[in-house]
């Protein structure tokens, strides 16, 4: 029986400072004698070479103090940073997809709305007399003074007056070439050869014979190729002005006209609403206040045409400066009821026209004429030699 005093000391296997050495095997001579084995002597750890010191190992009965925090697992050296969670990637993809769908629907809705407005515009069957040649594109624009669309409160409205239908108030050529736009005035009292009649009369008489006769007269008598045709009702143009929030016209002097309803009490730039704009372009007794005295504009029809062209240039300039698509849509929608175009014009041609008007020249071309009187009444005679250089700019 082994003495308990000779029992080897039980060591904790977790103690790194102690190393157990097994007892040597008994020799044959000691078979009959049992000697108590000596307890194993702990082995002291050797010192590292070159005098290097090592940090002593902590004792198991003492807690290990916390060290400095290490790098987070995502930023540990040698490890790739994990990608974003799938649900985040899915969320952003969903947002982008919804945005793209909304933009597509907005574009489609805008196109369908523009197409509906475009389809409401009346067409004029004149494609057979339109020209294909010439430099650039010429639009023959007729400003009509129709009473059919007048309502109570509009300038010139008379509930007892007879509807006389449509009359030509102004005619002009809008020439587009090289990204620029020019306007050439065509006086309605210009004395020319009227197509299909064999006689001469005022240019307005050709319009009374229909758009086809007017186009042929302008082409044959003045040598101007007409590629597109448009009729603008000034009553509807007043609605366009209101849709744009007003149009600014520069007045040299205060002016008024009791017949049309015009009343401008100051000089300089004045913003006109639709009501005053219509009174401005319709004024036939345009009266200015100069140095306190009232003076009626003496040029009559020529002065009215000049004012109408000035007004149209102001409208085109406002259209080019307006960036709000809602305002533009509202303005064109209100104008569509008073607009007539040739039957060969496409919606793409209309977009090109609107874009070209951004580069319109504010200085209009004017034909040199002399006033005269004959069997047709008060007329204007074209100075042929002086007019050719001007006409060549739109031919």
Q: Note whether 139 and 217 are same-domain residues.
A: yes
Task: Decide if 104 is inside a domain.
Answer: yes
Task: Decide if 340 is inside a domain.
Answer: yes
Q: Note whether 177 and 290 are same-domain residues.
A: yes
The radius of gyration computed from the CA coordinates of the chain, to the nearest angstrom, equals 48
Q: State the pLDDT confidence band at 323, using cuts at 50, 70 and 90.
A: low
Q: Note whether 180 and 314 are same-domain residues.
A: yes
User: Over the stretch 12-66, which tens digit does the pLDDT of each residue have?
Assistant: 555 555 555 555 555 555 554 555 555 666 556 566 555 555 555 555 555 666 6
The per-residue pLDDT for 96 is 84
Tell me how far apart the alpha carbons of residues 363 and 310 are, in angstroms, rounded to a whole number: 9
Domain count, the chain: 2
Tell me how far apart the alpha carbons of residues 121 and 345 are, in angstroms, rounded to a whole number: 11
Domain with residue 232: its CATH number is 3.40.630.190
Within 8 A by CB and 6+ apart from 233, the residues are 144, 146, 149, 166, 338, 339
Task: Decide if 220 is inside a domain.
Answer: yes
| Percentage with pLDDT > 90 across the chain | 22
Q: Note whether 131 and 275 are same-domain residues.
A: yes
Tell me how far apart the alpha carbons of residues 224 and 125 are, in angstroms, rounded to a whole number: 20
Tell me how far apart the alpha carbons of residues 234 and 150 are, in angstroms, rounded to a whole number: 10
228-233 vs 137-144, strand pairing mode: parallel
Q: Note whether 247 and 205 are same-domain residues.
A: yes
The per-residue pLDDT for 264 is 93
Which range, of 20-34, 99-113, 166-180, 318-332, averages the lowest pLDDT?
20-34
Please choose, from the candidates 231, 218, 219, 134, the residue with its C-alpha nearest in 3D space to the C-alpha of residue 177.
134
Task: Please tell me the pTM assigned to this model.
Answer: 0.66
Tell me the residue length of the chain: 395
Domain closes at, from 95, 120, 145 = 120
The per-residue pLDDT for 336 is 73
- Rank 127-136, 147-156, 360-369 by mean pLDDT and report only the highest: 127-136
What is residue 365's DSSP assignment? B
The per-residue pLDDT for 221 is 93
Please choose, from the candidates 26, 359, 364, the residue with its C-alpha nearest in 3D space to the C-alpha of residue 171.
364
Q: Note whether 166 and 259 are same-domain residues.
A: yes
Task: Decide if 242 is inside a domain.
Answer: yes
- The residue segments making up the domain with residue 116 are 86-120
Tell me how far apart the alpha carbons of residues 265 and 271 are, in angstroms, rounded to a whole number: 12
Whether 114 has a pLDDT exceeding 80, the answer reads: no
User: Over the stretch 189-226, which tens digit does the pLDDT of each residue have?
Assistant: 899 999 999 899 999 899 888 999 999 999 999 999 99
Task: Decide if 233 is inside a domain.
Answer: yes
Tell me how far apart the alpha carbons of residues 32 and 55 are, in angstroms, rounded to a whole number: 49
């Amino acid at each position: 029986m082994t003495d308990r005093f000779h029992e080897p000391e039980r060591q904790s296997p977790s103690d790194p400072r102690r190393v157990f050495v097994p007892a040597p095997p008994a020799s044959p001579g000691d078979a009959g004698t049992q000697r108590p084995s000596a307890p194993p002597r702990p082995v002291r750890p050797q010192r590292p070479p070159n005098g290097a010191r090592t940090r002593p190992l902590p004792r198991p009965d003492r807690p290990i103090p916390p060290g400095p925090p290490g790098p987070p697992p995502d930023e540990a050296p040698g490890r790739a940073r994990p990608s974003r969670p799938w649900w985040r990637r899915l969320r952003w993809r969903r947002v982008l997809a919804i945005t793209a769908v909304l933009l597509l629907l907005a574009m489609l809705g805008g196109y369908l709305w523009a197409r509906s407005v475009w389809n409401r515009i009346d067409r004029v069957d004149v494609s057979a007399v339109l020209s294909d040649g010439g430099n650039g594109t010429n639009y023959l624009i007729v400003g009509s003074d129709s009473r059919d669309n007048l309502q109570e409160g509009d300038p010139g409205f008379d509930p007892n007056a007879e509807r006389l239908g449509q009359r030509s108030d102004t005619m002009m050529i809008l020439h587009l070439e090289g990204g620029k736009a020019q306007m050439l005035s065509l006086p309605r009292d210009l004395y020319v050869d009227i197509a299909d009649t064999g006689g001469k009369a005022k240019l307005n008489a050709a319009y009374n014979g229909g758009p086809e006769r007017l186009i042929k007269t302008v082409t044959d008598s003045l040598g101007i190729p007409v590629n597109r045709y448009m009729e603008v009702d000034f009553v509807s143009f007043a609605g366009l002005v209101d849709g744009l929030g007003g149009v600014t016209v520069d007045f040299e002097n205060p002016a008024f006209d009791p017949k049309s309803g015009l009343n401008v009490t100051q000089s300089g730039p004045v913003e006109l609403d639709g009501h005053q704009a219509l009174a401005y372009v319709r004024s036939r007794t345009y009266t200015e206040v100069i140095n306190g005295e009232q003076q009626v504009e003496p040029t009559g029809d020529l002065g009215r045409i000049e004012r109408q062209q000035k007004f149209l240039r102001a409208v085109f300039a406002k259209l080019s400066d307006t960036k709000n698509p809602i305002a533009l849509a509202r303005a064109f929608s209100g104008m569509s009821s008073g607009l007539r175009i040739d039957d060969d014009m496409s919606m793409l041609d209309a977009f090109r026209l609107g874009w070209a008007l951004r580069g319109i020249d504010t200085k209009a071309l004017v034909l040199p004429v002399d006033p005269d009187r004959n069997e047709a009444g008060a007329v204007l005679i074209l100075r042929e030699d002086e007019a050719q250089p001007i006409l060549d700019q739109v031919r």
